[in-house]
Amino acid sequence: MKFWGLLFLLGGGVLFGGAGRVWADELAEPAGAGVLRVATFNCSLNREAAGQLERDLGTDGDVQARKVARVLRRVRPDIVLLNEFDFSEPALAAEAFLKNYLSSEVSWAQESPLQYAHRWTGPVNTGVPTGRDLDHDGKSNGPGDAFGFGRFPGQYGMLLLSRYPIRVQDVRTFQKLLWKQMPGALLPLDPGTQRGWYTDEDLGVFRLSSKSHWDIPVEVNGSVLHVLASHPTPPAFDGAEDRNGRRNHDEIRLWRDYLTAGADGWIRDDRGVAGGLSADAEFVVLGDLNADPVDGGSVAGAIQQLLNHPRVQSAPAPASAGGEQAAVQQKGINQQHRGSASEDTADFSDRSVGNLRADYVLPSRGLQVQSARVYWPVGGEAAELVECSDHRLVYVDLLLNR
């Protein structure tokens, strides 16, 4: 039985912004009864060495982690994907963050403790060596030669936290799916020779996902919500061959095909099970997808593969007053952007990139959206807290049928 309908409402206290926009209360009022708050947050809790994050979180004294925790305590999502949270096995950093920063009473947090009874994390491709010279620098052991850019296995990992039970036995991961297995993949060409940037030997091992793609079923009031979590590589830090931009496009395409009957036959998970998501399944796509609809350096149409998908509910777009204010104050390349600054979710260099919409919470059609917001406060202590990362937390409130 489906537990959501198809109605958009605006709840809670409001502030009025420019151009007739209505802004949600920047204090991020609690979701309230009968509402499921789903969020994504690239929290930038990554470190330069393996084990460093675990050590930093071993006490409650890490300044950045305190700010991340206070943002989460203020917004209080029921389900949240944390991108750029270093992974290790066992997941001691995750346990330390929950214990020392979210669930405990501490003097530095005015907000109430936040409890998550369920979590899921797993291996990612970042930092896992391939033994191949993938970035063509004459070496085969650098961070650019790993399956996903990283200095050690697990750097820039992912962590899902949930108040609701996770069907761990039914989680599907797509960490090892090869890029060449995608029909019509946008494999890059060497601009000098017009031959493939990657050799046949490279493509024989090269994985599509720069981190991983996860389908995590969560039980909500007797129904199942599939959390489709990922963090595609940014379309930058490469050359004219655009190898990262093309990979970003195809990492997003994996979810498009996963949701499309007839286009999902090539997909096979890490247990060898083929195919995509059933046509009647409810889902939400979460993550830092590193693709703005109109600005930035992503391949044209990359994020539109999801925004325009018939199964995806892409409106209303999460927005904030803070994003609009930041673009005006920071100026730079932001003045050349065509997209709405109120929908920006990341505060990048104003000289080269500018602020972009990079982070997404995309529910399936049929889910009942109450509100959609970017937590980017204007002024005050909250504005200082969000500077813990160059990304802002994005959340959508979904109404549960009673």
Cβ neighbours around 27 below 10 Å, total: 14
Reported as a single tens digit per residue, the pLDDT across 5-23 is: 332 233 333 332 333 333 3
pLDDT surpassing 60 at residue 30: yes
Pairing state between β 359-363 and 282-288: antiparallel
User: Distance (Å, rounded) from C-alpha 258 to C-alpha 262?
Assistant: 9
Q: Which amino acid is at 87?
A: F
d(Cα 332, Cα 264) in Å, to the nearest integer? 42
Residue type, 186: L
pLDDT at 31: 72
| Two structure tokens written together for 100 | 């020392």
Which pLDDT does position 379 carry in this prediction?
A: 85
Segment 331-344, tens digit of pLDDT: 999 999 999 999 99
How many percent of the chain have pLDDT more than 70?
92
Task: To the nearest 10°, report the CA torsion of 137, 138, 144, 145.
Answer: 150
Position 74, amino acid: R
Mean pLDDT of the chain: 92
The tokens 């937590």 sit on which residue?
A: 375
CA–CA dist 203, 134 (Å, integer): 10
Q: What is the pLDDT of residue 28?
A: 63
d(CA 57, CA 61): 8
One-letter amino acid of 278: S
Please, which pLDDT band fits residue 243 given cuts at 50, 70 and 90?
very high
Averaged pLDDT, 314-336: 96
Residue 183 pLDDT: 98
pLDDT at 297: 93
pLDDT digits (tens, 9 = 90+) for 52-111: 999 999 999 999 999 999 999 999 999 999 999 999 999 999 999 999 999 999 999 999
Question: What is the Cα 6 distance to its own chain's centre?
Answer: 24
Residue labelled with tokens 């708050």: 37
Dihedral of alpha carbons 304, 305, 310, 314, sign: negative
Tens digits of per-residue pLDDT, 163-184? 999 999 999 999 999 999 999 9
- What does the pLDDT look like over 183-231, one tens digit per residue? 999 999 999 999 999 999 999 999 999 999 999 999 999 999 999 999 9
Residue 113, helix vs strand vs coil: coil
Residue 364 has pLDDT above 60, yes or no: yes
pLDDT tens track for 143-158: 999 999 999 999 999 9
pLDDT score of 401 = 73
Within 10 A of 393 (CB to CB), how many other CB atoms are there?
28
Residue 322 has φ and ψ, to the nearest 5°, of -65, -40
Specify the pLDDT at position 15: 34
Compute the average pLDDT of residues 222-241: 96
Taking residues 298-310, report their average pLDDT. 98
47: which residues sit within 8 A by CB, 6+ positions away?
Answer: 53, 56, 86, 155
- Separation CA 321–CA 386 (nearest Å): 14
How far apart are the C-alpha atoms of 44 and 67, rounded to whole Å? 11
Which run of H or E residues covers position 362? strand 359-363
Residue 2's pLDDT is 43
pLDDT at 380: 86
User: What is the structure's pLDDT at 73?
Assistant: 97
User: What is 318-359 written as a DSSP string?
Assistant: PB-HHHHHHHHHH-GGGGG--S-GGG--B---TTTT--B--E
The CA distances from residue 191 to 135, 240, 246, in Å, are 14, 7, 14
pLDDT confidence tier of residue 29, bands split at 50, 70 and 90: low
**Are the C-beta atoms of 26 and 321 separated by less than 8 Å?**
yes
Its CATH architecture, for the domain 14-399, is 4-Layer Sandwich (3.60)
Q: Can you give the pLDDT at residue 21?
A: 36
Tokens of 219: 């039980």
Q: Which of 285, 191, 193, 277 is nearest to 232 (CA)?
A: 285
- In whole angstroms, what separates CA 206 from the centre of its chain? 22
Residue 266 and residue 238: Cα distance in Å, rounded?
A: 28
Q: How far apart are CA 70 and CA 389, in angstroms?
A: 13
In this prediction, residue 8 carries a pLDDT of 29
- Position 5 scores a pLDDT of 35
CA distance 38 to 393: 10
